[in-house]
Amino acid sequence: MSETTHNLKRMYRFDLTTRLVAKLKQEEAVIGGIGHSNFDLWSAGHRPQNFYMLGSMGLAIPIAMGVALAQPARKTFALEGDGSLLMELGCLTTVATQAPKNLVIILFDNGIYQITGGQPTPGAGADYVAIARACGLTNAAWAADEAEFERMLDNALATDGPHFIGCKLDSQGPKAQTERDPAQIRDRFMRGMGTKKNRTLG
Ligand SMILES: Cc1ncc(C[n+]2csc(CCOP(=O)(O)OP(=O)(O)O)c2C)c(N)n1
């Protein structure tokens, strides 16, 4: 675990997402942010407990925080891109204040808005772990490589949070695209969370 951005390996988002999904055995919720975070979550294997954010930037962490607070027994992950985090940076102070023990934030930091053509974000040199820590998220660190990412996931699954895991990404694009059907995404997720029982959509 690293508190600085020195010597961090640039990793492949799909590989990291696959490693995360492989560890989920307890119907954990995973919220994929707009951008390629939700594309790779989809590609890693659809689960009813996945929610794919389409349309608005910056909402993966707020949505995940809401799920975590509503269902405190369920570990809940937010996968967010750095561009989207910048759009809603204040959510980190809210997370620190609410402090849901079951929330894990995974930041996919590629320094660009990859999905809209790779424009650099205005925070390309920012240390988001340092920002998270300054907001009050004391369990915040960068993953130096894939093995450490896995150890940090194991720790986040086994211990109280909120946790914040920063990952520097390489420049590879997403594996595929999420099926864009917002009503179905919502409906499946509500069933995955056990909050909707009746069958209205396939
Ligand atoms: C409020 C708002 N502004 C702009 C957009 C257009 N837009 C959608 S995704 C995106 C970039 C997302 O970047 P990031 O979160 O870093 O993810 P990446 O694409 O790098 O995976 C932009 C600019 C939007 N959807 N909403």
Confirm whether 192 is domain-assigned: no
CA distances from 142 to 39, 171, 177, 188, 191 (A): 22, 18, 27, 32, 33
Sorting pLDDT into bands at 50, 70 and 90, what band is 130?
A: very high
Confirm whether 177 is domain-assigned: no
Report whether residue 34 contacts ligand 1, using a CB cutoff of 6 Å.
yes
pLDDT at 198: 66
Q: DSSP secondary-structure letter at 73?
A: T
How confident is the prediction for the chain on average, in pLDDT? Answer: 95
Looking at the chain, the whole-number percentage of residues with pLDDT higher than 90 is: 90
pLDDT at 135: 98
Q: What mean pLDDT is predicted for residues 32-61?
A: 96
Confirm whether 148 is domain-assigned: yes
- CB of 114 within 8 A of CB of 36? yes
Report whether residue 128 contacts ligand 1, using a CB cutoff of 6 Å.
no
Confirm whether 6 is domain-assigned: no
Report whether residue 56 contacts ligand 1, using a CB cutoff of 6 Å.
yes
Cα–ligand 1 centroid distance for 30 (angstroms): 19
Report whether residue 112 contacts ligand 1, using a CB cutoff of 6 Å.
yes
Q: What is the pTM of this model?
A: 0.96
Report whether residue 13 contacts ligand 1, using a CB cutoff of 6 Å.
no
How many domains does the chain divide into? 1
Confirm whether 90 is domain-assigned: yes
Confirm whether 158 is domain-assigned: yes
Looking at the chain, the whole-number percentage of residues with pLDDT higher than 70 is: 98
Cα–ligand 1 centroid distance for 131 (angstroms): 20
Cα–ligand 1 centroid distance for 84 (angstroms): 6
Q: Could you list the residue range(s) of the whole structural domain that residue 48 is in?
A: 13-169
- CB of 35 within 8 A of CB of 115? yes
Sorting pLDDT into bands at 50, 70 and 90, what band is 7?
A: confident
Judged against a pLDDT cut of 50, whether residue 202 lies above it is answered with: no
Judged against a pLDDT cut of 90, whether residue 148 lies above it is answered with: yes
Judged against a pLDDT cut of 70, whether residue 199 lies above it is answered with: no
Rounded-to-integer distance, Cα 46 and Cα 174, Å: 15
Rounded-to-integer distance, Cα 51 and Cα 161, Å: 21
Judged against a pLDDT cut of 60, whether residue 44 lies above it is answered with: yes
Cα–ligand 1 centroid distance for 89 (angstroms): 14
Confirm whether 191 is domain-assigned: no
CATH number at residue 153: 3.40.50.970
Confirm whether 189 is domain-assigned: no
Cα–ligand 1 centroid distance for 103 (angstroms): 23
Contacts of 110 (CB under 8 A, 6+ apart): 13, 81, 82, 168, 169, 170, 171
pLDDT at 178: 92
Report whether residue 174 contacts ligand 1, using a CB cutoff of 6 Å.
no
Higher pLDDT, residue 201 or 41: 41
- CB of 107 within 8 A of CB of 78? no
Sorting pLDDT into bands at 50, 70 and 90, what band is 5?
A: confident
